[in-house]
Amino acid sequence: KSDNYVHIVEVGPRDGLQNEKRAIPLATKIELIERLAKTGLPTIEAGSFVAPKWVPQMNNSAEILQHVLQHKISSPVPISYAFLVPNTKGLANAAAILQQHADRYVADVAEARAAAEAAAADGDSAAQPSSFVPAIELAVFAAATESFSQKNLNCDIATSLDRFRDVIREAKQITSKAAAASGTPIPLRVRAYISTVLGCPFEGPDVDPKRVAEIATDFMEMGADEIALGDTTGMGTAPRTKDLLRSMTAAGIRNEDVALHFHDTYGQALVNTAVGLEHGIRTFDSSVGGLGGCPYSPGATGNVATENMVYFLESLGMDTGVDLDAVADIGAWITGEIGKANDSSVGKAVLGA
Ligand code: HMG
Ligand code: MG
C-alpha cells in the first residue's frame, strides 16, 4: 500500500497567510494548525522566522513554534512542522525555542515511531511508510533568478547560498535540553526551497533548468535533506516541468529528495503534478482553500488547494491518508475567517457550496 503513498506538505499556515495585510490573530493561526493536524496531513508548514519589517504577518512564528512543541496536538499521524529561516538570525531565534521547549515533541516523536514500527512488525498496513520520521523542518529559500533573489532576500543568489551554507551547518548542530539529559536528539530536517524554477515575475518564463539543478546540487552538498522546487508564479507548464525534472535527475538528484511546490495562478498546478508523479516524485505542497501568494511575486495567487490535490491524487489510486471532507471544512472556515473567497473548486463542490 505504501508504494502508492504521496506525502502532502500543507503550507497554508505559512505560504497561505504570509501575504495577508490584516494581522491574523495568533489564536486563529493555532486553531488552523490544530485543525489541519487532525486531517491526516503529515507535514504542516507553520511559520517563518523572517524579518518582521519584511513580512509582518509571520511575526508571531516564535509563539507558534513554541505551541507546537509544547502541546500534545491530537493527530492520526505524527506531524512534522516546518518553519522558514532566511539567515542565521532567524535560525538563532528558532534554535533558542527548540533548545528550551523541544522535550515534549522529542518524546512524542519517539513514542509515535515506536508505535509505527510495532504496527509494521505486526503487518498492519498504515498509509504512511513506517520509515517516515516526523521532524521539525527548517526551510531555507533561494531563487533560480537574480531579480527574484534581490527582491525576496535583498542579495544575489551566490550570496544567499553562502549564507545558507552557514544556516544549514548551524541547523544541524542544534541540540536540546532533552538531548543533553537523555541523548535523544531533536529530529530536525532541512528543506531547501528554490523559487522561480518555472518562471520569474521579473524575468519571465524562461528559467534555465540546469541552473536550478546546480543550485539544488549546492544545497544537497551543504547537507539539505530535501529540495522543494517552487513555481512561485504558477507560470509552469507540463513540458517545462518535465524538462526541469529531467535536469534534476541528470544532475544526480534523487526523486525522493525532491518536493514540488506549485502555485496555481494559471491553473496548471495539477497538470504539472501529474508530470511530477510520472517522473517519480512523491512529495507535493498545497494550501488549504488555495490560500496564498508571495509578497515578492506580484499577481501570483495561492498554492494549489489541498482539497484539489487530495481529490486528484486519490482519483489516480494514490494514497494520501488525508480526510478530504475535513480539509474542505477547514478551507471554508479559514477563508471566511480572513475574509477571502474559497479558492478550492473541490472544496466548494464537496461542501455543496
Ligand atoms: P535585510 O534587510 O537585507 O537584512 O533583509 P538585514 O540583515 O540588513 O537586517 C535588517 C533588519 O531586519 C535588522 O533589524 C535585522 O535585525 C532584522 P533593524 O536593525 O533594522 O531593527 N532581521 C531579522 N529580524 C528577525 N528575524 C530575522 C531577521 N533578519 C534580519 N531572520 C532578509 C534580509 C533575508 C532578512 C529579508 O530579506 C527577509 O526577511 N526576507 C524574507 C522574505 C520572505 O519571507 N519571503 C516570503 C517567503 S519565500 C516564498 O514565499 C517562496 C516559497 O513559498 C517558494 C515558492 O513559492 O517559490 C518558499
Ligand atoms: Mg510559495
Cβ 285 under 6 angstroms from ligand 1 = no
Instruction: Label residue 266 by pLDDT band (50, 70, 90).
Output: very high
Ligand 1 contacts CB of residue 50 (under 6 A): yes
DSSP 8-state symbol, 5: B
pLDDT tens, position by position, 47-97: 999 999 999 999 999 999 999 999 989 898 889 999 999 999 999 999 999
How far, in Å, CA of 262 to CA of 215, rounded?
18
Work out the percent of the chain whose per-residue pLDDT is above 70. 96
The span from the CA of 207 to the CA of 212, in Å, is 8
User: 179-214 in b/e burial notation, b at 16+ Cβ within 10 A?
Assistant: beeeebebbbbbbbbbbbbbbbbeeeeebebeebbb
Does ipTM come in above 0.95? yes
pLDDT, tens only, 304-334: 999 999 999 999 999 999 999 999 999 999 9
Give the separation between CA 246 and CA 175, rounded to whole angstroms: 37
* Amino acid letter, 204: G
Residue 285 phi/psi, 5-degree rounding, is: -95, 150
- At residue 130, the pLDDT reads 64
Residue 51 Cβ inside 6 Å of ligand 1? The answer reads: yes
Among 201, 195, 236, 235, smallest CA distance to 216 is for 195
Ligand 2 centroid from CA 250, angstroms: 25
Q: What share of the chain is helix, strand, coil (3-state, %, to 5)?
A: 50, 15, 35
Which residue lies with its CA nearest to atom 23 of ligand 1? 51
CA angle 48, 228, 52 (to 5 degrees): 15
- Residue 176 has which C-alpha cell? 536540546
Residues with CB in 5 Å of ion ligand 2: 15
Q: Which atom of ligand 1 is nearest to the CA of 90?
A: 31
pLDDT band of 1, cuts 50, 70, 90: very low
pLDDT at residue 131 tops 80: no
pTM: 0.96
- For residue 139, the ligand 1 atom closest to its alpha carbon is 58
Q: Which residue's CA is the closest to the ligand 1 atom numbered 22?
A: 51
Q: What's the longest Cα–Cα distance across the chain? A: 54
H or E element at residue 261: strand 258-262
Q: How far apart are CA 342 and CA 315, in angstroms?
A: 22
Atom from ligand 1 closest to the CA of residue 196 = 57
Q: What's the gap in Å between 131 CA and the centre of ligand 2?
A: 27
If one residue of 60, 97, 141 were mutated to test the ligand 1 pocket, choosing by the most ligand atoms within 8 A of its CB, it would be: 141
